[in-house]
Structure 1
Amino acid sequence: MHRLASSVALTAALLVISGCSTGGTPSDAPAGSTPSPRSSPTGTPAEEAAEDATEESSQEAGEAPAREQEPVAPADFEPATAVRVVRHLAGVIGPREATGRAYARAADWVQGELEGLGYDVARQGFDVPAGESWGVPVPAGRSVNVVATPVGFDPSRPHLVVGAHLDTVPRAPGAEDNASGVGVLLAVAEAVAQRRTRLPVVLVAFGAEEPRGPGDDEHHYGSRRYAAEMGPRERTAMRAMVSLDRVGVGATVPVGSATASDPVQRALLAAARSAGVRAVAVAEQRSSDHWSFVRAGLPAARLGSTSYAAYHSAADVPAVVRPDQLARVGRVVLAWLAPR
């Protein structure tokens, strides 16, 4: 299997403390923090049975497990891949404002990595207005989502979406916010490229997540565009979306819901339990790309958001990110994607 990861050994005790969007986020939890609640993957036996029935009927209608490989498992996640991505994006490229040249370099690089794993990759361009991003004026321009799909993917058939924003605020190298999310995204892409998942998986690096002013309408431009361009059949076929945003610090995995509780959040908490990862539910969490999908009436949740001192600053460098936390999040995602 092609591997993104280099032979770089995982090193170092890296700094802990972290954050992307603020509000409703737990601090770095001690070893004795409350584990994730026990629940069925979709929250209730009826919901779980309905989901399983949907998957079975899809397969009977000709929607195979897309590949005849071994099923993916949490242990298939390679933390070294995620670490390499963080080091390249935040250490080599640096700040990636959504309309700038550095962002374009980052999008090219991510596209190349995904194509190297055998995915079909498309770009979804969109306009972004001028504004102010975390105290720094930013120009109007174009940004892009990088969208990877398995070969032969049919968006009108049941599928899942995993995304992470690729841009940063202008003054931050963005190791935790959000090279960590993109690192986990690419390591997940690597794991599922040659293994079977319960449904086909679309992988998206979103542009222009960071704010250009106050409020929802000046935030999350790339994911809003993606959700707006989904046709009726694709909307019905998308079973759930997960946003990976600030997933590289802490000792537990925050699982955020835009509402008090929802089936996607419960499914992720159950996946964390099955993977042996400590997770904590966060309600009313709307500060990432999953919110664009929820606003559009689509099921979505978020992984990540532990507070950290280097948030949106020049100090958000690769040393902030913890490989062990990247591994926890990656195992949760793969447990969620794994066939039952």
Structure 2
Amino acid sequence: MNRPPEAAGKGRALPAVSRDRIERHLKYLEGVRHPVAAPAALERACSYIGDTLRALGYAVDLHGFADGGREYHNVVATRLGTRLPDKRVLVLAHFDTVAGSPGADDNASGVALLLELATLFSQWRPEKTLQFVGVNLEENSEEGPSGTGLRGSRALAGFAALQGWEMEGVLVLESVAFAGGSVRQGAPPGLPLQVPDTGDFLAVIANQLSQGLAMRFALAVESFDIPLPVVPLVVPGNGELIPDTRRSDHAPFWDAGYPAIMLTDTTNFRNPHYHQRSDTFDTLNLGFAVRVCEATAGFLLGLVCGEAEAPR
């Protein structure tokens, strides 16, 4: 059938995703990364993300924010657009964990894919500005002043609004490596659609403002013939009626009026290791993570590159 050019990537070949690089990032990051239980490991993860992105040629800045009387940082890597530099596309993944979990799926998997995508796009010239962001303090924390989580992304969304950033889309990678044909799938109460019983799909969570991004992602998967089941979910408003759809770094961008989608394996609705000491590398499905990375790369090609596709 005829497909929209943006879905098909205008005839481009999909960049080759490296399973080995994803595995190396995951193994380096695995371990408790928490502001109280493991602050040194949290800082090492921050440094690792920044160093990796700098080595790829990105301009890297640390976006600081205060929490509980201390300063923390988001890592923001930027490749300016060649034709439309004022229009931005952000790819986010949080790098902290809860106090008792090594966080392989939640969320070393998201960070590993973010770094692999940054590697792929270091060889492309985007028409729009592309930013890869490692986000700090996403997890809920009893030690924090509010205990609500999402502190790094809330600070970044507020900064973006104050600066008047023109956002074409925000893509959040949240736990993207637990899946399989024998995995049982659950769903939050009040969900307005029937989800499959088997946890072998990627969920794409959008609000009404972001519905177009979710549909473009699904079209990219189809157009590049990626064997990845995708279940889009568009929630009314900013997800207030289904709080489980707001449990990651896309929510502050929804609240600030920016289009944003979350890619997720649905965490505790399929993964028995969620926020447990057993959330380790050996529980993950790297083949699934690679397919998610391929799908995300195809989606980003259509969103940021336009006709400016020649490698650097």
Structure 1 and Structure 2 fold alike (TM over 0.5): yes
Identity of aligned residues (%): 28
Name the structure 1 match of 2:152. 222
Name the structure 2 match of 1:312. 275
Letter paired with 2:43: A
1:174-193 → structure 2 map (5 Å cutoff): 174-193=103-122
Distance in 1, matches of 2:250 and 2:55, equals 27
Unaligned runs of 5+ in 1: 1-37, 44-70, 130-139
Distance in 2, matches of 1:125 and 1:143, equals 6
Task: Indicate how the Cα distance of structure 1 residues 198 and 332 shifts in structure 2: closer, same or farther if over 3 A, else same.
Answer: farther
Name the structure 1 match of 2:131. 202
Counterpart among 220, 236, 261 of residue 271 in structure 1: 220
Asked if structure 1 preserves the Cα contact closer than 8 Å seen for 2:211 and 2:234, the reply is no
Task: Indicate how the Cα distance of structure 1 residues 197 and 315 shifts in structure 2: closer, same or farther if over 3 A, else same.
Answer: same
Provide the alpha-carbon RMSD of the alignment: 3.0
Unaligned runs of 5+ in 2: 180-199, 236-244, 307-312
- Secondary structure in 2 aligned to 1:158? strand
Asked if structure 2 preserves the Cα contact closer than 8 Å seen for 1:74 and 1:330, the reply is no
Counterpart among 10, 14, 20 of residue 74 in structure 1: 14
Letter paired with 1:103: L
Counterpart among 100, 115, 118 of residue 57 in structure 2: 118
After superposition, give the CA deviation of every residue in 1:104-126 in whole Å (9 maximum; x if it has no partner): 01101111111111111110111
Letter paired with 2:22: A
Distance in 1, matches of 2:81 and 2:300, equals 19
Distance in 2, matches of 1:298 and 1:164, equals 17
Higher strand proportion, which one?
2
Name the structure 1 match of 2:45. 106
1:296-307 → structure 2 map (5 Å cutoff): 296-306=256-266, 307=270
Distance in 2, matches of 1:115 and 1:148, equals 8
Asked if structure 1 preserves the Cα contact closer than 8 Å seen for 2:161 and 2:256, the reply is no
Q: CA deviation at 1:98?
A: 3.7
Name the structure 2 match of 1:87. 27
Name the structure 2 match of 1:330. 293
1:277-292 → structure 2 map (5 Å cutoff): 277-284=228-235, 285-292=245-252
Q: CA deviation at 1:333?
A: 1.1
Asked if structure 2 preserves the Cα contact closer than 8 Å seen for 1:42 and 1:263, the reply is no
After superposition, give the CA deviation of every residue in 1:52-94 in whole Å (9 maximum; x if it has no partner): xxxxxxxxxxxxxxxxxxx97434222221111111100xxx1
1:127-206 → structure 2 map (5 Å cutoff): 127-129=66-68, 141-150=70-79, 157-197=86-126, 199-206=128-135
Q: CA deviation at 1:326?
A: 1.1
Distance in 2, matches of 1:89 and 1:246, equals 14
Q: CA deviation at 1:331?
A: 1.0
Q: CA deviation at 1:144?
A: 1.1
**Bigger relative contact order, structure 1 or 2, given CA contacts below 8 A and separation 6+?**
1
Name the structure 1 match of 2:253. 293
Letter paired with 1:310: H
